[in-house]
């Protein structure tokens, strides 16, 4: 095990973030706890989206289709595992996203011709493994010639349990630190050792990448700043909020909502989905990490005044130059041109999401 002072993370404490103090030695335990806070939030949110069911995602980024799908092979006693993403529960309330790179072969089946009618269970063995320099020499930081950190990596292996029986088709017992989850059944008689599509029964359901399960919702903590004092924020009750612009003729009031975002290279875009109505000339945009209206940003489709409720979806391609794990700032900017009297902008049910697949205009991204 890595040499650390202590593991101080407890989910029940409800820690949102650590605040580091000036002039005080920063401890490894504090940094580890901050990482655990973000991981806990991510895995609980994914579990909630999955409704506590494991699933594979139909991801257009992969040419073979959906992750961890088991399909037929042209050789006997062999199947293919298709590339893609799937989510598996590590326990009741925590799910992890697992990516299978490329189309790979799975061998190791016993002969049906020799043994006769049999059903085999294909399953995944998942482990959160501590990686030291003995496992990966690149863990050593060359600047100090030492392990400054170790990795906790999510590793997996695809295995076969031969001769399982209904109705449960039970998994074998997993050793400590491992999680076993079912992928597929292969049922055959003894007429051939060639596994066909009809012999394979998938146990891991598929979810379309164009559903809400394609995205991870980012907690929408609001911190608003305005260009002048004629402003009243009505709060974030029921995830709705209203901006009031009073007696502000021919000048713009700019509302900036700031949201923290932790970059994950699996994310391809950010999207904002909300409902808006307004009683003034309004425009809006979403931008990443900066107040200047330049660089990486996307418009929110607002134009003019509309007192009817409108659905709004905008998306922002994430640049590949970001640093993994770095906290960036997403800004939702609303700019209103008021008339004489009081004018309002309403925003209802805002959801910011980080998408793992390409955004498709017609199908939405959240």
Question: What is the side-by-side strand order in the sheet with 252-262?
Answer: 224-225, 252-262, 327-337, 281-288, 297-300
**What is the C-alpha to C-alpha distance for residues 276 and 306, in angstroms, rounded to an integer?**
9
Residue 16 reports pLDDT greater than 70: yes
Residue 357 reports pLDDT greater than 80: no
**Which pLDDT does position 93 carry in this prediction?**
87
**What is the C-alpha to C-alpha distance for residues 38 and 17, in angstroms, rounded to an integer?**
8
The pTM is what? 0.57
**What is the C-alpha to C-alpha distance for residues 211 and 365, in angstroms, rounded to an integer?**
8
Query: What six digits make up the tokens of 62?
Result: 């992969």
Of 182, 128, 189, nearest to 160 by C-alpha is 182
Can you tell me the mean pLDDT for 120-140? 94
Query: Is there a cis peptide before residue 167, judged by omega within 30 degrees of 0?
Result: yes
Can you tell me the mean pLDDT for 169-180? 93
**Which pLDDT does position 280 carry in this prediction?**
67
Q: Which residues pair with 217 in a beta bridge?
A: 353
Residue 328 reports pLDDT greater than 90: no
Can you tell me the mean pLDDT for 19-38? 89
Segment 76-129, tens digit of pLDDT: 999 999 988 899 999 988 999 998 988 899 999 999 999 999 999 999 999 999
Q: How would residue 292 be classed by pLDDT, with cut points 50, 70 and 90?
A: very low
Residue 342 reports pLDDT greater than 70: no
> By three-state DSSP, how is residue 91 classified?
coil
Higher-scoring residue by pLDDT: 231, 191: 191
Segment 193-206, tens digit of pLDDT: 999 999 999 999 88
Dihedral pair phi/psi, residue 238, rounded to 5°: 55, 30
Lowest mean pLDDT among 74-83, 235-244, 277-286: 235-244
DSSP characters over 24-52: SPPPHHHHHHHHHHHHHHHHHHHHHHTTT
**Which pLDDT does position 229 carry in this prediction?**
31
Query: What six digits make up the tokens of 53?
Result: 């069911």
Residue 25 reports pLDDT greater than 70: yes
Can you tell me the mean pLDDT for 25-30? 89
> By three-state DSSP, how is residue 237 classified?
helix
**What is the C-alpha to C-alpha distance for residues 161 and 314, in angstroms, rounded to an integer?**
47
**Which pLDDT does position 3 carry in this prediction?**
83
> For residue 235, is it left (φ>0), alpha (ψ between -120 and 50) or beta?
left
**Which pLDDT does position 60 carry in this prediction?**
59
**Which pLDDT does position 217 carry in this prediction?**
39
**What is the C-alpha to C-alpha distance for residues 49 and 205, in angstroms, rounded to an integer?**
14
**Which pLDDT does position 84 carry in this prediction?**
85
**Which pLDDT does position 277 carry in this prediction?**
75
Residues 183 and 88: beta-carbon distance below 8 Å: no
Can you tell me the mean pLDDT for 200-214? 68
């Amino acid at each position: 095990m890595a040499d650390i002072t202590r593991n101080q993370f407890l989910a029940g404490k409800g820690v949102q973030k650590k605040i580091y103090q000036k002039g005080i030695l920063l401890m490894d335990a504090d940094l580890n706890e901050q990482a655990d806070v973000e991981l806990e939030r991510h895995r609980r949110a994914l579990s909630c989206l999955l409704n506590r069911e494991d699933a594979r995602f139909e991801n257009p980024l992969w040419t073979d289709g959906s992750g961890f799908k088991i399909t037929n092979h042209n050789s006997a006693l062999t199947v293919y595992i298709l590339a893609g993403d799937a989510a598996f529960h590590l326990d009741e309330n925590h799910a992890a996203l697992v990516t299978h790179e490329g189309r790979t072969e799975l061998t190791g089946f016993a002969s049906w011709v020799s043994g006769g009618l049999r059903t085999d269970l294909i399953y995944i063995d998942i482990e959160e493994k501590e990686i030291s320099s003995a496992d990966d020499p690149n863990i050593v930081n060359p600047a100090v010639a030492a392990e400054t950190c170790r990795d906790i990596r999510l590793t997996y292996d695809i295995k076969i349990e031969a001769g399982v029986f209904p109705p449960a088709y039970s998994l074998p017992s997993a050793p400590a630190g491992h999680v076993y989850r079912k992928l597929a059944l292969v049922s055959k008689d003894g007429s051939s050792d060639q596994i066909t599509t009809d012999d394979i029964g998938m146990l891991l359901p598929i979810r379309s990448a164009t559903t809400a399960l394609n995205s991870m919702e980012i907690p929408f903590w609001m911190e608003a700043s305005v260009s002048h004092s004629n402003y009243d924020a009505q709060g974030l009750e029921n995830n709705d909020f209203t901006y009031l612009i009073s007696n502000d003729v021919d000048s713009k009031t700019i509302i900036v909502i700031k949201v923290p975002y932790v970059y994950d290279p699996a994310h391809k875009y950010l999207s904002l989905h909300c409902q808006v109505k307004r009683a003034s000339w309004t425009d809006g945009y979403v931008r990443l990490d900066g107040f200047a209206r330049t660089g990486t940003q996307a418009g929110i489709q607002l134009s003019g005044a509309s007192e009817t409720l409108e659905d709004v979806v905008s998306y922002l391609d994430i640049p590949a130059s970001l640093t993994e794990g770095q906290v960036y700032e997403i800004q939702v900017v609303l700019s209103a041109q008021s008339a004489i009297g009081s004018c309002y902008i309403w925003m209802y049910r805002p959801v910011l999401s980080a998408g793992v697949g390409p955004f498709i205009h017609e199908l939405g991204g959240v």
